[in-house]
Structure 1
Amino acid sequence: MSEFLNLGLLLVEAVVYFSLMTVLLHFRHRIGLGVFLTALGVMHFVETYLAAVFYVSLPFGVVSPGSSVFFAGKVMLILMLYIKEDAAAVRQPIYGLFLGNLVTLLVAQIVLLHDPVILSPDQIVDMPFLRNMGLLMLWGTALLYIDSIGIILLYERLGRWAPRWMVLRFAVAGIAILTFDQIGFYALLHYLYDAPGEVFWGGWKAKMLAGFFYALLFGLYQAAFRDHGVVFSRRPIGDVFNDLTFRERYEDLLARTGRDTLTGVYDRGRMEIEVPRLIRDGLREGTQASVAIVDVDHFKSVNDRFGHQSGDAVLKDIAARLAASLRPDDHLFRYGGEEFVILMTRTDHAEALAVVERLRQEMATGVANEAGEPMTISIGLATAPDDGHSFNALLSTADQRLYEAKSAGRNRAVGRSSRDI
């Protein structure tokens, strides 16, 4: 019974620790990030002390709360800090802890030169522990430094394959790095205290549980506040913090540029840079990509009848509805005038035809001109590699099919296998 009670207490500790630290992180813009960083650093001594001397029995082994709850939580919180801020913010607690523990190690060696006074028989000065404490803290901080770099790089590497599965990436990255951490920390415990193998296996199982549990708490936080972050990095690991910060801010700047000033969607210049690359990458991976040209039917008459401001309002409405109706991995660009281009990666011709037909139907019922008349669109569709291997080839084929759609009476989508939907 005591084993299950200990397990319950560890879960309570995890909830309390992660929840309170998340509150400090969430309100960092009001109370200052330093409050979160200080709280994170203060815990380090307690974590190390508990990991060295305090263990409890669980149903699956012998575990220290210091390692399995608090240190594991710190690694996950550092990843969370990275998601919410950037690598420059992450660098502060990592370097601060590392340098602070170097000072601790130095001071501890000086303190050991004293001849302590025993104030009472119950007072025991644990000199061997004091000697080992500095080494434990230094080793733990070195592992934390490696863990922090590793969990960030792994998290964003997973983002290349599963960009929308943030919580899953959070869990997988945490579990993988905590496994590495357990191996490294147990090696020193075994060297200093001859810790038995059950300490390793019990601690590893506890850290795996902690990784899942903290990911669950992170997922609940994300669901509550709908806050997302995306990061990328390709530079050497030696400059990882500067690199990650630069890359993240570059991606943010890039996301804000290359926009059409009227509609807010990506412009033709951005299209001519990104679409050819995305198509090439897809073909190298063996996946198909579809390109659609969308033309607003009878748009000139809107300008002629109601004026250019009314025409601009119609274009903005159409662009907004297209952007809202597309799938998360689709890309929308304003080609020029009343024409838009849609790139659908990893999408075959039949699926792309279904997507654009749905867009056509939604547009006919969702956008109207100043007189209340529905605005319709015509669409031409082409798919790589069957309709061409380059963006220019696909664009040319899609343009021909757009012409067919307009010649056939407009308000229709034309692809390779359909001429009148």
Structure 2
Amino acid sequence: MQNSLLLLAEALLYFTAMTALFRARGRIGIGVFMCAIGVMHFLETYLASVFYVVLPFGIVSPGSAVLFSGKLVMLLLLYIKEGAATVRQPIYGLLLGNALMVGLVLILRQHQIAPLPDGRMPDLAFIDEMGWLMVWGTALLFADAILIILLYEKLGRYFRKALFARILVSVACVLTFDQAGFFTALHFVSGAPLEVFLGGWVAKMGAALVFSAMLVGYLRYVETERLASPRGLTDVFETLTYRERYEALVQDAGRDGLTGLLHRGRFDADGQQAVAKSRGGGLPLSLLVIDVDHFKSINDRFGHAEGDRVLRAIATMLQETTTPGDRVFRVGGEEFAVLCSHPHAIARLLGEKIRHAVKAAEIGGLEVSVSVGVATVSGDADSLDKLFALADQRLYAAKSSGRDRVVGEGAEPRAQAQAAQARN
């Protein structure tokens, strides 16, 4: 029990100290953080070769279970916040530095060594052993860094809103790979028994859980802003991260800058495809056109900043109220649209749900309401233009008959008259 608590204390100390250096990078530079990683790299390799403790599930080295796991998480943090061009720097530095150390030791062995006054001689065999272990460990780290970036990117498609799961699965998988690789070298160099592998793997899974939880907390509550980073020459890390940056760019393209919703251009393109698919497959498709009531008076009385806040709040409510298959657009100043694969009756219920959600929210202490016009693909609305015109006509009917209401099918005659009167 004491050893387990000490390992946890070591993990907390390591994470706290390293993230403090990372957080201060704007003042003291990122080099301090990277140098600390380098020092810990030497210590973790030394401990992994000679220092072990007994736990209920096996024999564990703090160097491998705590320090290496923590280093991998720090590299992931560096990648998330600074990008591939920065995270490659400590990886290449460690790899080349360890190779340089081995090369220098090979030359040092050629010296005629003078003994110290007490007769002691340097133990170069220990340096040889440590050097090759460090080179092997750093080569594994190079592969680990590539794998964790690949996994983090790939899992982003499935866990984009579940950051903890995304980080935990990435770290746990890579630590399992590393444990197998490093134990192989350790077994041949120092004769480490199988218990070291099993105990180390269980300990690393525990470390993955602890470090992932701490990293998520740090990202959410401390490192809240994304810092820009310079881009350097293209290499394997830059290539691996290109896909995620490209997909993020595509995801952001066609979005309204204020609300984050899809904009009018995307409505025209997506809407035409949706109508064609609905007509070709006989599938229901409805359009809700939503307008904020008396929005001009909000801008006039409280200013455009408050009006923007109202629009952002309504955009958020639309995303929360609709289902994942629905597409939400901002098609005008205070006008929104929702394309949904629902028959007309269900679409009207969705409109009522949206109306009630906005009414109950009291955004910023203001009583805000919306009017909604609903139309469904049919023989009279067999194109996006006709569908939008019909929904817009019903929207004007809702506004001219008192606002804060939903108007759908069956209101055409009254809608036409009221819409014409509202425009005149």
Aligned equivalents of 1:43 and 1:68: distance in 2? 13
Matched-pair contact (CA < 8 Å) for 2:362–2:368: yes
Does residue 326 in structure 1 map to residue 318 in structure 2? yes
In the alignment, which residue of structure 2 is the partner of 1:268?
264
Aligned partner of 1:378: which letter?
Answer: V
Residue 374 of structure 2: which of 352, 372, 380 is its match?
Answer: 380
Is 2:373–2:394's contact at 8 Å kept on the other side of the alignment? no
Deviation at 1:362, TM superposition (A): 4.0
Query: Which residue pairs with 1:129 in the alignment?
Result: 126
User: 3-state DSSP class of the match of 1:195?
Assistant: coil
CA distance in 2, matches of 1:251, 1:75: 24
Q: Within 5 A, what are the aligned runs for 1:156-175?
A: 156-175=153-172
The structure-2 alpha-carbon separation of the partners of 1:168 and 1:229, relative to structure 1 and needing over 3 Å to count, comes to farther
2:355 maps to amino acid: R
Alpha-carbon shift at residue 196 of structure 1 (Å): 1.2
Contact 2:11 2:70 in 1 (8 A): yes
Question: CA-to-partner distance for each residue in 1:326-365, whole Å, 9 max, x for gaps?
Answer: 3466764321355322467x99999876654333124446
Partners of 1:187 and 1:83 in 2: CA distance:
30
Name the CA distance, whole Å, in 2 between partners of 1:85 and 1:348: 47
| Cα shift at 1:200 | 0.6
Please name the residue that 2:405 is paired with: 412
Counting only pairs closer than 5 Å after superposition, residues 74-153 of structure 1 correspond to structure 2 as: 74-119=71-116, 123=120, 125-153=122-150
TM-score, normalization by structure 1: 0.75
- Partner residue of 2:417? none
AA at the equivalent of 1:361: H
The amino acid that maps onto 1:412 is: R
* 8 Å contact from structure 1 (residues 318, 363) kept in 2: no
Q: Percent identity?
A: 39
Structure 1 stretch 146-155 or stretch 373-382: which is displaced more?
Answer: 373-382
SS of the equivalent of 1:119 reads coil
Q: Deviations over 1:284-342 (max 9, x none)?
A: xxxx998643234577xx5xxx7996799496455223123234667643213553224
Distance of aligned partners of 1:309 and 1:150 in 2 relative to their CA distance in 1, 3 Å threshold: same
Q: TM-score, normalised by structure 2?
A: 0.75
Partner residue, 1:233: none
Which amino acid counterpart does residue 70 of structure 2 have in structure 1?
A: G
Instruction: Answer whether contact 2:150 2:240 (CA < 8 A) is retained.
Output: no
2:153 partner amino acid: E
Matched residue, 2:354: 359
Q: Structure 1 CA distance, aligned partners of 2:247 and 2:287?
A: 27
Q: Mean Cα displacement is larger for which, 6-15 or 26-35?
A: 26-35
Q: Which position in structure 1 is the counterpart of 2:420?
A: none
Answer with 1 or 2: which has the greater Rg: 2
In the TM superposition, residue 279 of structure 1 has moved relative to its aligned partner by 11
The unaligned stretches of length 5 or more in structure 2 are 228-233, 277-283, 413-424
Letter matched to residue 358 of structure 1:
K
What does residue 151 of structure 2 align with?
A: 154
* AA at the equivalent of 1:213: V
SS class of match (1:227): coil
1:398 Cα offset (Å)? 6.4
Does the Cα contact within 8 Å between 2:149 and 2:241 map onto a contact in 1?
no
1:127-174 per-position Cα deviation (integer Å, ceiling 9, x unaligned): 433222222111111111111111122122112112111122111111
The answer to whether the 8 A contact 2:21-2:32 is kept is yes
* Superposition RMSD in Å: 4.4
1:212 deviates by 0.5
CA contact (8 A) 2:288 2:391 kept: no
Cα distance in 2 between the residues matched to 1:214 and 1:327: 32
Query: Does the C-alpha gap of structure 1 residues 255 and 73 become closer, same or farther in structure 2, counting only changes over 3 Å?
Result: same
Q: 1:324 to 1:91 in 2, by over 3 A?
A: same
Give the direction of change, closer, same or farther, for the CA distance of 1:247–1:156 in structure 2 (3 Å limit). closer
> Quick one: distance in 2 between partners of 1:308 and 1:56?
67
Which of 340, 344, 350 pairs up with 2:336?
Answer: 340
Provide the secondary structure at the position in 2 that maps to 1:326. helix
Taking the TM superposition and a 5 Å limit, the aligned residue runs for 1:205-284 are 205-225=202-222, 227=224, 239-244=236-241, 247-248=244-245, 251=248, 255=252, 258-259=255-256, 266-272=262-268
C-alpha distance 145-264 of structure 1, shift in aligned 2 (>3 A): closer
Contact 1:291 1:343 (C-alpha < 8 Å) held by counterparts: yes
1:43–1:264 Cα change, 3 Å: closer
CA distance in 2, matches of 1:170, 1:394: 42
Provide the C-alpha distance between the structure 2 equivalents of 1:116 and 1:276, rounded to a whole number of angstroms. Answer: 83
Pairwise CA distance, 1:109: 1.5
In 2, the alpha carbon distance for the partners of 1:321 and 1:191 equals 62
Shift of 1:74: 0.4
Residue 116 of structure 1: how far off its partner (Å):
3.7
Which amino acid letter does the alignment assign opposite residue 411 of structure 1? Answer: D
1:10 counterpart residue number: 7
- Structure-2 change in CA distance of 1:414 and 1:99 (3 Å): farther
